[in-house]
Amino acid sequence: MTCNIDETHDPALLAWVASANGHSDFPVQNLPYAIFRRGDDRARIGVAIGEQILDLAAVADLGLVDADLIAVLQSATLNDLLALTPAARRRLRHRLSFLLSDSGYEAALLPHLVAGADCTLGLPATIGDYTDFYVGIHHALNVGSLFRPDAPLLPNYRHVPIGYHGRASSIRPSGQPVRRPNGQLKLAGQEEPTFGPSRRLDFELELGIWIAGENELGGPIPIGEAPKHIGGFCLLNDWSARDIQAWEYQPLGPFLSKNFHSTISPWIITPEALAPFRQAQPARSEGEPRPLAYLWDESDQHQGGLALDMEVLICTERMRANSISPKRLSRTKASHMYWTAAQIVTHHASNGCNLNPGDLLGTGTISGPTRDAFGSLLEISSGGAEPVTLPTGETRIFVEDGDEIILRARAEREGFASIGFGECRAVVQPAVT
């Protein structure tokens, strides 16, 4: 996120793909990568442009990129692309920006454009390890006061970017249904736990951070180097079974309450695309501790934040049957992250833990300070006490079977083309009986 604003961010730049030039998530200033499949065809790397996907394996086959990028773009995952240096990644962005905005390439590339609607998008990368953090301070306060009224924010919170390992194998791309988990529940008023479907299934609105490059085991990543290890961002719904969590999480943290499924948006939004939307990290208040030296970098404080609006919507089965649009449950901002992406990466590697290209980090739930900005139903419904009413008259305190949860994010700044993340959505299916 030391990337500069350059000509690829020029708001006057138009693509020769018409759908990219309106209020699209994917104007030519964005250029995110995904893995797509059309019908039975093999998985391929694509770049989004408006409502279309440009097949980058085909672009490579045509010899339209530098020779060192050809094999990278012919892969079935984005791991090799995430292993590129930031300079090589910028070179690719510049090339794609040129190819998609210069109408001289339209004839050659048109056969390799496919409608996004005709494609299935997969996981962008083989995820080696997945780690989830807890940097949304309003979320930590809200959940802390439900689980630990005496000590909502623990003494370590303002010193340590708290994180824990999650499950890589159960991460799925947007669009795949989520099975409600069974688990041990300690029901109110009962002495012994029972086993059955979670009754308190929740979403969590998070950002995902894709790791680029790698550090050797034993070799930390200084905070000034951390931006080189950030390959992009996505949306992440960290599905959570609150009742399983409450019973299992002491003393070693959440486990089965989280690892049954996590949904991510399929597009990797690059740090280069987000360059115009960098902003200063909110200053710490009087009395708040200054981060330890290994987490402190003036440049990161100055531009390590992201001007990004995020929202979560719900669409129940009855809403779909009645063609009622999804209802927004919450709208928040990435600026509620207490720690920057660079601080998260540096902390993770500070003990020598090795991060690899394609590893995924979650930020943790990014809630704002008010109910209309809370990033989970646990918070929105005050732990189940205050139901949300939907346009059908239905109410929700947690997620019900058939509900679809949709996450969106959009970066906007005066004088720049706004860019979006695409959607992260999934419908909940009943538990296995």
304 vs 2: CA distance, rounded Å: 9
**Whether the Cβ atoms of residue 265 and residue 31 lie closer than 8 Å to each other:** no
Interface pick for its own copies out of 53, 241, 341, 428 (rule CB under 8 A): 241
Instruction: Please say whether the beta carbons of 262 and 239 come within 8 A.
Output: yes
Paired residues of 47 in beta bridges: 33, 54
Q: Does 251 bind its own copies (CB under 8 A)?
A: yes
For β-strands 230-237 and 205-211, DSSP reports them as antiparallel
DSSP secondary structure string, 108-149? HHGGGEEEGGGEEE--SS--S-EEEE--BHHHHHHHHHHH-T
Quote the CA–CA distance of 189 and 107 in Å, as a whole number.
70
Got the DSSP string for 17-83?
Answer: SGGGSSS-S--TTT--EEEEEETTSPPEEEEEETTEEEEHHHHHHTT-S-HHHHHHHTSSSSHHHHT
Contacts with its own copies by CB under 8 A: the residue count is 67
Question: Looking at 63, 149, 287, 289, which residue binds its own copies (CB under 8 A)?
Answer: 289
Q: How far is the CB of 267 from its own copies (least distance, A)?
A: 22
Report how far residue 294's alpha carbon sits from residue 169's, in angstroms, rounded to the nearest whole number: 32
Active site residue 139: yes
Q: Please report whether residue 378 would count as binding its own copies according to CB under 8 A.
A: no
48, 17 Cβ separation under 8 angstroms: no
Residue 187 touching its own copies (CB under 8 A): no
416 scored as a contact of its own copies (CB under 8 A): no
**Minimum distance between the CB of residue 328 and its own copies, rounded to whole angstroms?**
29
| Catalytic one of 139, 229, 261, 348 | 139
Is 433 near its own copies (CB under 8 A)? no
Kindly tell me which residue out of 1, 78, 114, 256 binds its own copies, with binding defined by CB under 8 A: 256
Number of Cβ within 10 Å of residue 115's Cβ equals 11
3-state SS, residue 282: coil
Per-residue x/- mask for its own copies, residues 121 to 160, rule CB under 8 A? Answer: -------xx-x--x---------x--xx-----x-x--xx
Q: Does 284 bind its own copies (CB under 8 A)?
A: no
Q: Least distance to its own copies from the beta carbon of 292, Å?
A: 5
Per-residue binding string, its own copies, 164-183, x by CB under 8 A, is xxxxxxx-x------x-xxx
Residue placing its CB nearer to its own copies in the complex, 169 or 285: 169
Contact residues for its own copies (CB under 8 A)? 128-129, 131, 134, 144, 147-148, 154, 156, 159-160, 162-170, 172, 179, 181-184, 186, 192-195, 217-220, 241, 244, 247-257, 259-261, 289, 292-294, 347-348, 350-356, 359, 429, 432
Active-site amino acid positions: 139
